[in-house]
Amino acid sequence: MRASADGWVGAVVVGLLLGSLRVQAAEVQTCPAGQRCQYRDVGCGYGVKVQADHTYLDLIPPFCGKECFCRVETIQSEKIVFPTVPRSGNTWSRSILEIITGRASESIFSEGRNKSNPVARRASGFYARACGQTHLCKDVRANKMEDIAIIKTHHPWIRKNRFSVPGIGTMLLMTTRNPLDNYLALMRYSPNKSIGPRAFAMRWNNFFNFWLKENVHRNLPLQVIRFEDLVNRETRINAFWHFIQMSGLDRQLNIDRDRVVQSIDHDLVAVAENNHVGFKSLLEGWKNHKLADVEAALASAGDWLDQFGYTRLYQYWRTCLRDDVDEHGQTCSAGGHQKELEAVELDLFKWREHYTATPTRVHP
């Protein structure tokens, strides 16, 4: 192993698997901040903001300890890591953010083909379309190296997208969608009979455990946006304005609330119908699911259902699927359980207060 003139920084790289830890290498070498680790003409890692006591490093795969050397390279200044379960609002949110910021979001993997707006690997090492996901080439451009970048990943849902690839970043942006509706959305997009709704709910639970309990990202500033809230114009405005302030994009790009409002009003046609997420559809969601699946989700994902404001909704679904009668002897199908329904609505609306709280800025 060769050391550069600037020396090596030794650190332990820990590979985080779903719900468990596995040491990938006892000691892996990386480069000083501002330099890139090169391995047999293949770039294998950046040393941005790397410290020896980090439990994993920024863009360092396991093989980087073999015959690497360092070279100076311009590295993107900041990253916002955007991990999501597939079909929970990632593309939708990225499109909104591209309209607001005028900057293309990026991904750790190439996302399909479009001849007029092709995907290319950027100097940052990530993939992006020149005009973003929106294909609005008059309004959206690719990031420059000094720009704050929003980086999409589905790890550990899609395991080939290593968790270490987007790096540690400066904050987390996440979308969430209640797991049983998320399951149906994924089946509409990419049917996979190898996973059922109960297994999906467990994986959904483990996904949030992974990012918010089990690794370094749990200590980062966090913005969560519920997919179900995106259908409401005022809530969309509040949620994305909160994020823009929190991330510092308002200062970097001179964005004010009026610009967010204009961008939201520019955004997206027939959002409720296209995404099966109208408020009425959500309250009547019990008609799309089985009692055993709702009970299994409450049992396996209860903590995160509660964290994201879905618990009372699922309890109401369970009541309806049991055909329980209320004090008037009516079931949900007959218009009963109005008190429970009102409590669900209050819970769902109350959670939206997260978007109007004073944001804690990444850079005060």
308 closest CA partner among 244, 223, 248: 223
Q: What is the Cα–Cα distance from 16 to 28, expressed in whole angstroms?
A: 16
- Mean pLDDT across 119-123: 71
Where residue 210 falls among pLDDT bands split at 50, 70, 90?
confident
Tell me which of 12-26, 273-287, 306-320 is least confident: 12-26
Share of the chain above pLDDT 90, in %: 46
Q: What is the pLDDT of residue 79?
A: 82
pLDDT band at 121 (very low <50, low <70, confident <90, very high): confident
What does the alpha-carbon distance between residue 175 and residue 90 come to, in Å, rounded to a whole number? 7
What is this structure's pTM?
0.78
**Does the pLDDT value for residue 185 go beyond 70?**
yes
Confidence of residue 288 (pLDDT cuts 50, 70, 90): very high
14-18, 125-129, 138-142: range with highest mean pLDDT: 138-142
| Residue 252 near residue 293 (C-beta atoms within 8 A) | no
What's the pLDDT score for residue 77? 59
| Structural domains present in the chain | 9-72 (no CATH), 78-269 (3.40.50), 279-351 (no CATH)
Question: Higher model confidence: residue 9 or residue 62?
Answer: 62
CB burial class (10 A; 0-12, 13-18, 19+) of residue 278? middle
The average pLDDT across 199-222 equals 87
Determine the pLDDT at residue 8: 26
Rounded to whole angstroms, the Cα distance separating 16 from 22 reads 6
Which phi-psi region, left, alpha or beta, contains residue 255 (left: φ > 0; alpha: ψ -120 to 50)? beta
| Residue 42, pLDDT score | 42
pLDDT grade for 36, boundaries at 50, 70 and 90: low
**Mean pLDDT of the region 54-64:** 39
Q: In the prediction, which pLDDT does 27 show?
A: 42
Q: Are strands 148-153 and 78-83 parallel, antiparallel or unpaired?
A: parallel
At residue 213, does pLDDT exceed 60?
Answer: yes
Please give the C-alpha separations between residue 141 and each of 104, 152, 265, 273, in angstroms, as whole numbers. 6, 17, 20, 29
Q: Which has more pLDDT, 327 or 57?
A: 327
